[in-house]
Structure 1
């Protein structure tokens, strides 16, 4: 009879099996015999993932029960007296006790676990070494655990975002649907970091995901915060914590399995958990999808035969710096130089940056030092400006011969892909320490660095000698005489600069010869104010997004503060009259009635004029507040406008004069327009002419420091030789911001959860493209309660049934309410992702001064 005890031999180990007909999963009728069969057949895939790891097991000796009456579960760590003596084991000292754990290194032990109804197998991310001592962790895990109201699809979305971050750091995550609720992400580690260090990294990664997706992700363990969100559980990287092992059964109502999956599967809207039969079929057809996670564990089970031992060389008595490099390459299979001799110390100062198209494009930065090329992998290449540091991952030393290597590393070999030299040359050494390297690079004239000297600081970010892989690369500013400003130097110079007071203007500087020549030519065919009005129907001149690199140094630029308001062209036709002033937004809307107090601009202007400037609302500290200005927008009723005028007064910051007393100034250079502006407009309580800084006397860094200290948005750099080009986004004006912002068109919204239930939870944003909106992400933070009410009122009349986006992901489209793409808003964000999405967006407000056709992607 099948339910009678049986003694069987499993790989030479005798095991007594009992109660084989006992139903452990009543809902599906799955018996202990079925569980034994599963673990026997899955052993080759499962064992490498648990080998040499202390096993904690969860037992359901009477079965998992039902939803109404769940079966009793026993949680066990220590071995009991009935354990077969052939089961491998290791003691582990805890704070108050010593626990002896089973080690699952063979099929017989796995069968014994099935016999005692240990359905769930849990292991940590570290292994015991040959002496029974805990090693450092060899894998990272993130547990994406959905709260009420979300599920696998949301977990998959977060997994994709985590994958992007991890790949940028040289790690390749592998997904596992947990068989319970969520998804586990594993990544293989090199075993150089402690559990505390890996946990700290995982915690920061969880926080980064939470910042990126605040309406979907939570990193705090409190259950009260998890409604409608996914917990990114980073804590399972602790040496004391365990995770369900890949291919383990789960003690759920059905015999589900923690199943490795492909990334393509995670993109499917039909993504679901798999049961044990499906997993057996998958492994039979495709093998272990998680095999690369524990390759060394698979090798550990091989017998040390003479043939196998002959493939290993004896370890030399003294190691050289290229030992690790050689161990990772086969000279017979890769064209890379693999010298036999140890590295010999040299005094050379060469460098090379190689463009490496491997699994992901990255740049390998190498400095000759002590006879080798000390190397870092830079996912985004060397930084192009001081404001943006780049990640640099310290890798193995390379031989000097690698400095001239270009070629294709075969697929399947370490670093497989195409390698080309991006730039090379020599460097000057300023500092070389274990945690900091500062060099000045002199590359090729046509190299990737542009032929100019580049000063680079490499700084190790780890806090201990064990944590040495992750560094950051910082580009230092090279000033006249070859010196580089540090952040402290820049701040000191800003504070002592006479320009910091804002007293000096461009009118005090020497005009650019090109400006004078252009202006002289233009006067021969002067145009009228009417011509200027006609030209300005196209809209005002627009600034492009710039960087320090696009501006460079030296003369030729004027720096103005960037004001956080809405753009307005002001036409003053009859100074002193009640109807003297007309205000129009960037997209041509008449703003005159909405800002009645700005009729006083006429009192500040001598003669008829067309002015360009910004309407701003100031907070109690006198700083522009775009959120406050939102309360003045889109008002129609006279009572509402009167009330808002009283509660939120505005000012007009005028920064350009486009026409005066019948003559257009559009063709004049910046310096001449600025001089005329200061002569025509005088400051009042409502009208201000802001200071301008000349780049000869005030550097861009100093101007940005002033802007930051004043709490402003950034700086606009204007070429002093530039004329005014209505309706055109010009590189003659460049805007540089302390924080990135992006205008976007609203194409839909997702319902809220928790306190936002029944209303708008987040907005779906896009940028106009051919045939629709290009999706750039969703924003769910930055809203006040008043904003949410306003959103609902504005979006309701625009509802439509069709999706306006060209490429919105299914997970975002699933519960979306679509709207006609007519409303423009603005968000602040950290950066663009490689897939064209906004990272960490936060709502700033509506932009009624912009039409959807005005919206473009802000890229320098």
Structure 2
């Protein structure tokens, strides 16, 4: 028998024993246990958004997917004491409860490749919180044929007032899940699902069926609603499956689903990257919960001047502190009405009162329990924020968004920063844990009372993307020769400077270039966080420029700042050649990502965040693109940007949602070699070989031999002397002057202008513009 190899790993606050990390679990794909553990640890922040608090059924593959596998519901007797469990079902099984990343690591170490979840959450294990429709096609069924069926069912579900979410099962089917309020038992929810499924099957009898027996399906897709019954489960979102290719049960947007050819596109190698790049397609899932359609109350006229007894209603006296502070003839704030029901909604406001702060409001006992949080929601575990409890507010404040007039209590603008539903996950002696679910914020927090009205607020779970510390790549634009026409575009100047991502964290500034080079020390005048921003934490996309006396950006000046050395010299340059930072986007602000909001809304957050009269400036936008381009041409600027007003921010992706419209056609090219010089160029070079990087490949674009003066040629030669030579570069396209050229590693970037591409994909009439050391 092979000797068991084990080691201990620290996962959060837990120590987890790991064993036989090199054991192959997916033989055909050469995937070992260590890779499975790594996957579950990386995807944990997102997976736990949906599995946290749920009882799990495990499918274990101790000898890999080609060996024997088995279901496990009971918690092993030898499980660590910190692993939570609950006893459920007629058989009294001790189900493991999903709680934290360390649990996922522990389960992965047991070769629990598949995590299947029950449909209810702690503590309401008998009340499902979503309705699931499992589209199960027969063997050999083409996956693309399943998509129209799913889209048709989506339309039906929406007609009943549900918000359906879709995911691949990691097998051959799809799960469509509709979040519902956890107020009815499994049988009642099953009957509601049946009420939808029966007419759907009757409408498409040749395509779908409710027949469980395979021989009765006759090649049709099973609409399996029987999984919603008590004790049943579905594979968890983002769980692996024990199949060749190591597929993942992947949540998708409905637009994404229409382009899927095979569920194997989403697997252990691609899933985490997709979530980081595109975001979580199911974000805010719980915030869309509605009552099941068979038990929705019929709308009735509200009765006036009646205050029923009971905890579900609040009398005017219970909002007395709120009412005393306000004159409702002068402020647009709600006066407060008698609520009709108890719910679990929350709102976070960004509030410009005497000092900017955030207001956290949680619905409880018919009012909104409220806390003022001066520095906003904590961004990640370990950060504690002061939260000062204020007076209870009426439920109408959930949708209040406006300006409180000067002279009134709390005067100033108040913006809805996040709006959704919350759940208390654990009660403590002096506080509680709670989870926020919304389109804007999804996370678990703890609030703890310190004294009187002072509380501490902290985040418990780790977000999937840490915008303040991870390397976030900027969104990139396509290029066009003409200004796009039509509504829906914003236009702004294309600043001729250094692209930079500006991180603000508790008053401290960090500046990184597009290739993640930290250049904070090069620009001391920009290290003024609290003076420049109305925010505690943020991530901005910007361009750093140096201006001439007329206010025109001069690229050579900002490159001089970038390449300067010595603290004394850099300080002198802040006076003689000061830098300015034009910010055009905001990716993250005080506890939540903004990347999924439309650009026009991000611009509003940005304008509200930047203080006037500092080196930081908002890059203004206009609606008239052609006029802006003409003005750019008159002032000899580089060009303009055209951006879709409704576009999301897509880190690291080049997209036509943003377009560069340049006065001159140009490209960023890599210098891959040079030819020998002759005559007065004998000491330098004749021409530069250039290639353009498209994706991961280099495409040869020919040679450039014009655009240099003597000083530029000497500068380029000095740079290229430091670059390692190579026998022959790996490029797409036929190389010119191959035998007489010196070939170089592709690390030096230059900007090249040209008239157009030739039929063999070379730059026609290329002209050297400048080196791009910032890239």
Fold-level match, TM-score > 0.5? no
| Structure having the higher Rg | 1
User: TM-score if structure 1 supplies the norm length?
Assistant: 0.35
